[in-house]
Amino acid sequence: MPIYRDKTRGCFVFEFDRVVEGQRVRARKLLPKTWTRAQADAYDRQEAARLYAVATRVERHQHTIEDAVAIYLKERVPGLKSGDNIMGELAQMYWAYQGRPMSALADACKEYTAKARKANGSKLAAATLRNRIRYLTSACRYAWKHHGMSEHDPADRVISPTVRNERRFFIDRRQMLQLCRASKHRATRAAIRIAFYSGMRISEIKRAERVNGMFVLHDTKNGEPRHVPIHPRIRCCVGIALPDQSRISKHFRDARKAVGMDWLHFHDLRHSAASEMINAGVDLYTVGAVLGHKSAVSTKRYAHLATDSIKDALTQIGRKKVA
């Protein structure tokens, strides 16, 4: 029989081994362990009919999204820095693209966006949905470009959720010092000051080397090394050993609550550093270099803060230089 249960693996197995128009056609696939007999039989009927159609040239063979993902995981993902994460994210989407042809990528992504939920039943964040859909479309585009598994770009109709999660929270030096005084944890006070005067993320502060008056980051989020000069006002902090991030986060939450800043995230200190530089007249290009932005698009979020520079630029309108 084409469908049978493999007791060792604990799942149904689909097998197709027949002679169609003088040619032997073979196929074998392990079906999900959660499938019932009825689901397995339905798959058997559908897949057997498709194989017959392909063999008799009634239908051109269509590669599945699963085929594309398998090739992507084998050839491309191992060389990516976030490979393990990509593998896990694609696994979370498996139910949406399982058994579907490449031509149905847009429909699979649309269904995932509509039905995906967290373990507690709540909706996934738009950023999470967008990232997972991007991984899936990247896999299909890779298979299309490098293996010809589609006649055209399979992602041309895919719509990703719009993400609007830019934070607009900044604090000034007075508020930063108020926050430090509220913390009873020395290492957390040091971390707060370093973040404010360097624009570094907490993970970067923890792993940065201190070399000749510089914070040296050999590996950053954008994949390029970065050197950040140590501000004179935090030289006394750089030698303090920092505990694990969860402990710093706990003491940071206690401090912000004590001063009525429950809305503040530690990452907002990085934004505050950008705000301070822009208010001091530093151009956006330099601010981006300090923060380690690979693209100017990332720095544009702070453009609205450069009001003084914009005002100075506007005052130049109509001015005629006299030789």
Q: Per the domain annotation, does 28 fall within a domain?
A: yes
Count of CB atoms within 10 A of residue 135's CB? 21
Q: Per the domain annotation, does 290 fall within a domain?
A: yes
Q: Per the domain annotation, does 167 fall within a domain?
A: no
**Could you read off the pLDDT of 159-218 as tens digits, one per residue?**
988 876 566 788 999 999 999 999 999 999 999 999 999 999 998 899 889 888 889 888
Q: Please give the residue range of the domain that contains residue 27.
A: 3-55
Q: How many domains does the chain have?
A: 3
Q: Per the domain annotation, does 60 fall within a domain?
A: no
pLDDT of residue 105: 95
Residue 59 structure tokens: 């239908």
Which of the listed residues 147, 165, 181 is the one where a domain comes to its end? Answer: 147
Task: Provide the residue-wise pLDDT of the chain in tens; the chain has 323 residues.
Answer: 578 888 888 899 999 888 877 788 888 889 888 889 888 888 888 888 878 777 776 555 678 999 999 999 999 999 887 889 999 999 999 999 999 999 899 999 999 999 999 888 888 988 899 999 999 999 999 999 998 888 788 998 899 888 765 667 889 999 999 999 999 999 999 999 999 999 999 988 998 898 888 898 887 766 678 888 999 999 999 889 889 888 999 999 999 999 999 999 999 998 898 888 888 888 878 888 888 877 666 666 666 665 565 556 566 676 665 54
Q: Are residues 142 and 185 in the same domain?
A: no
- CATH code of residue 274: 1.10.443.10
Token pair 């992507």: residue: 72
Q: Are residues 96 and 181 in the same domain?
A: no
